[in-house]
């Protein structure tokens, strides 16, 4: 695998444009959004209008055509500004548009992917259920055949964008006894269909700008055109989307770590105690060194993984077993280390701020609350270690 990596002038220009846009349109509203715990409809609409909900999607399907590297640049910059917006984009793009791009028929791409990538429709991804979290193949939501149609009944939980989405990539059991090996199918469920209802929306520690919704499905009737990929192969669809989600979570974490470190650095130069700026004390200097080292390492890991996925392309049928295994291990590695390093770095940044870091409404206090979920969603870090260790044992280092 090639290790060297550099950004093209176009990618650098994209980063500059994103940074300017976010400083103008997103940064100013984040504190109020967090305090009011409201979905940021206005800034999301502006991001959609810029094409930022379809960054990695090819232009022929309405996206910006910037691949996973461009998408990681976008999420790194967004991660510096706000994790809620990052989660809204991630749920839509990594988990919503990826399965459509990889597994959709041409007709499905035209009907669902193009408007989603153009920012005209919002997507969500629904795998988790009350009894099925880490054991995500054990779905209890039933998709029963009725002629060539499907009747879907069950309860889903913790769906990011679940309250706002127009369409949900939903995993349901075509044969719950079979579980992940042939028993789960991915469906495209429009939220205006009869029998669909949004239930409870969770109050959360962080990510106050996102909805985390329960979905109630009471005999929702779906036609055959809404089956995404093959019947019984939905678990593969979900896992492939999560491989993209895990590197994009890494990119957003990288941004969050940089913002927190920058804030801590500036604070440490300006805060005087015992007659000196606290940045003069070795205890603070070594914290900053450890933070900078983690950022440096993660940057390479994220962009290496993104470039690797770009090289593999968008057709899962063309990937060899080895390529799949390498991609999945790399995505799990990035997700696990990124989320743990983000928690460590943001925790140290908060510590450098002293009491001020604990005061409600400071950016570092919000970042601390927002970051913790990344060790849990898109597969807990215990599950990432399971994925990596199984592959290490099977294939070696
Ligand atoms: C804010 C938020 C947003 C979310 N967004 C989405 C979304 O958009 N779509 C979606 O489908 N889901 C979403 N989720 C769900 C999320 O992915 C799950 O919460 C997560 O996968 C863990 O499942 P669980 O909560 O049921 O925990 P459990 O699976 O019950 O795990 C509990 C603990 O046991 C550990 N554990 C479980 N099995 C093992 C094992 N075999 N070995 C070792 N340890 C194990 C776990 O690591 C964890 O520490 C979201 C959750 C939250 C909180």
Structure tokens at 261: 């470190």
pLDDT of residue 113: 98
pLDDT in tens, 248-292: 999 999 999 999 999 999 999 999 999 999 999 999 999 999 999
Hey, which of 138, 164, 340, 376 would you mutate to test ligand 1's pocket, going by the most ligand atoms within 8 Å of its Cβ? Answer: 376
> Do 175 and 250 form a contact (C-beta atoms < 8 A)?
no
**pLDDT band at residue 3 under the 50/70/90 scheme:** low
* Residue 207 CA, closest ligand 1 atom number: 1
pLDDT in tens, 129-158: 999 999 999 999 999 999 999 999 999 999
31 CA from centroid of ligand 1 (Å): 28
Indicate the CATH number of 124-228 among 3.40.640.10, 3.40.50.150, 3.40.630.30, 2.40.110.10: 2.40.110.10
Atom 38, ligand 1: residue with shortest CA distance:
134
- Is the per-residue pLDDT at 215 higher than 90? yes
**pLDDT band at residue 2 under the 50/70/90 scheme:** low
- Is the per-residue pLDDT at 305 higher than 90? yes
Catalytic residue among 76, 164, 375, 378: 378
Hey, which of 124, 133, 136 would you mutate to test ligand 1's pocket, going by the most ligand atoms within 8 Å of its Cβ? Answer: 133
User: Over the chain, what is the mean pLDDT?
Assistant: 97
> Do 173 and 141 form a contact (C-beta atoms < 8 A)?
yes
184 CA from centroid of ligand 1 (Å): 18
Atom 14, ligand 1: residue with shortest CA distance:
158
Q: What is the 3-state secondary structure (H, E, C) of 206-254?
A: CCCCCCEEEEEEEEEEECHHHEECCCCEHHHHHHHHHHHHHHHHHHHHH
- Is the per-residue pLDDT at 237 higher than 70? yes
Strand partners, 150: 145, 222
Distance (Å, rounded) from C-alpha 314 to C-alpha 355?
A: 48
Domains 124-228 and 234-395 fall in the same CATH topology: no
336 CA from centroid of ligand 1 (Å): 14
* Residue 386 CA, closest ligand 1 atom number: 42
Atom 32, ligand 1: residue with shortest CA distance:
134
Name residues whose C-beta falls within 8 Å of residue 49's C-beta, 6 or more positions apart in sequence.
119
* Residue 378 CA, closest ligand 1 atom number: 17
Directed axis angle between helix 363-371 and helix 234-270, to 10°?
150
Distance (Å, rounded) from C-alpha 127 to C-alpha 98?
A: 15
135 CA from centroid of ligand 1 (Å): 8
Residue 286: CB atoms within 10 A of its CB come to 11
Atom 41, ligand 1: residue with shortest CA distance:
383
pLDDT of residue 5: 78
168 CA from centroid of ligand 1 (Å): 19
Which CATH number does 234-395 carry?
A: 1.20.140.10
- Is the per-residue pLDDT at 191 higher than 70? yes
Atom 27, ligand 1: residue with shortest CA distance:
133
Whether 282 is catalytic = no
380 CA from centroid of ligand 1 (Å): 6
Residues in the chain: 397
pLDDT in tens, 173-182: 999 999 999 9
41 CA from centroid of ligand 1 (Å): 27
- Is the per-residue pLDDT at 1 higher than 90? no
Give CB contacts under 8 A, 24+ apart, made by 42-51.
43/85, 44/85, 44/88, 44/122, 47/21, 47/85, 47/89, 47/119, 48/118, 48/119, 48/120, 48/122, 49/119, 50/21, 50/119, 51/117, 51/118, 51/119
Directed axis angle between helix 41-49 and helix 9-25, to 10°?
150
Task: Map residue 4 onto helix, strand or coil.
Answer: coil
**pLDDT band at residue 27 under the 50/70/90 scheme:** very high
Atom 50, ligand 1: residue with shortest CA distance:
158
Hey, which of 90, 128, 171 would you mutate to test ligand 1's pocket, going by the most ligand atoms within 8 Å of its Cβ? Answer: 128
CA-wise closest residue to 52 among 90, 16, 99:
90
What residue ranges do the domains of the chain occupy?
9-122, 124-228, 234-395
Is 9-122 assigned to CATH 3.40.1190.20?
A: no
Q: Which residues line ligand 1 (CB under 6 A)?
A: 91, 125-128, 133-134, 158-160, 204, 207, 212, 373, 376-377, 379-380, 382-383, 386
Report the share of the chain in percent with pLDDT over 90: 98
* Residue 128 CA, closest ligand 1 atom number: 11
């Amino acid at each position: 695998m090639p290790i060297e990596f550099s950004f093209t002038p176009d990618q650098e220009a994209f980063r500059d444009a994103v940074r300017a846009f976010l400083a103008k349109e997103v940064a100013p509203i984040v504190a109020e959004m967090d305090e009011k715990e409201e979905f940021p409809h206005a800034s999301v609409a502006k991001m959609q209008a810029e094409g930022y909900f379809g960054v990695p999607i090819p232009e022929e399907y309405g996206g910006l055509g910037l691949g996973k590297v461009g998408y990681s640049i976008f999420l790194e910059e967004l991660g510096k500004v706000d994790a809620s917006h990052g989660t809204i984009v991630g749920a839509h793009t990594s988990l919503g548009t990826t399965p459509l791009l990889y597994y959709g028929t041409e007709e499905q791409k035209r009907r669902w992917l193009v408007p989603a990538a153009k920012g005209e429709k919002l997507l969500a991804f629904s795998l988790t259920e009350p009894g099925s979290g880490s054991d995500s193949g054990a779905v209890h939501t039933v998709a029963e055949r009725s002629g060539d149609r499907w009747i879907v009944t069950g309860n889903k939980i913790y769906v990011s964008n679940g309250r706002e989405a127009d369409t949900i990539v939903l995993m349901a059991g075509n044969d719950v006894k079979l579980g992940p090996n042939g028993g789960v199918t991915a469906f495209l469920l429009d939220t205006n269909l009869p029998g669909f209802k949004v239930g409870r929306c969770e109050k959360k520690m962080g990510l106050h700008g996102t909805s985390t919704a329960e979905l109630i499905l009471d005999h929702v009737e779906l036609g055959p055109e809404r089956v995404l990929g093959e019947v019984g192969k939905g678990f593969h669809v979900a896992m492939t989307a999560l491989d993209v989600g895990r590197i994009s979570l890494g990119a957003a974490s990288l941004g969050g770590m940089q913002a927190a470190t920058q804030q801590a650095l500036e604070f440490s130069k300006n805060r005087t105690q015992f007659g000196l700026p606290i940045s003069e004390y070795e205890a603070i200097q070594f914290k900053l060194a450890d933070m900078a080292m983690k950022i440096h390492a993660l940057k390479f890991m994220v962009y290496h993984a993104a470039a690797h996925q770009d090289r593999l392309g968008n057709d899962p049928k063309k990937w060899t077993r080895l390529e799949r295994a390498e991609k999945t291990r790399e995505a799990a590695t990035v997700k696990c280390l990124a989320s743990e390093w983000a928690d460590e770095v943001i925790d140290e940044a908060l510590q450098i701020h002293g009491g001020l870091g604990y005061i409600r409404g400071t950016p570092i206090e919000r970042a601390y609350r927002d970051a913790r979920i990344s060790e849990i969603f898109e597969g807990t870090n215990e599950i990432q270690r399971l994925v990596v260790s199984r592959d290490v044992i099977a294939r070696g280092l």
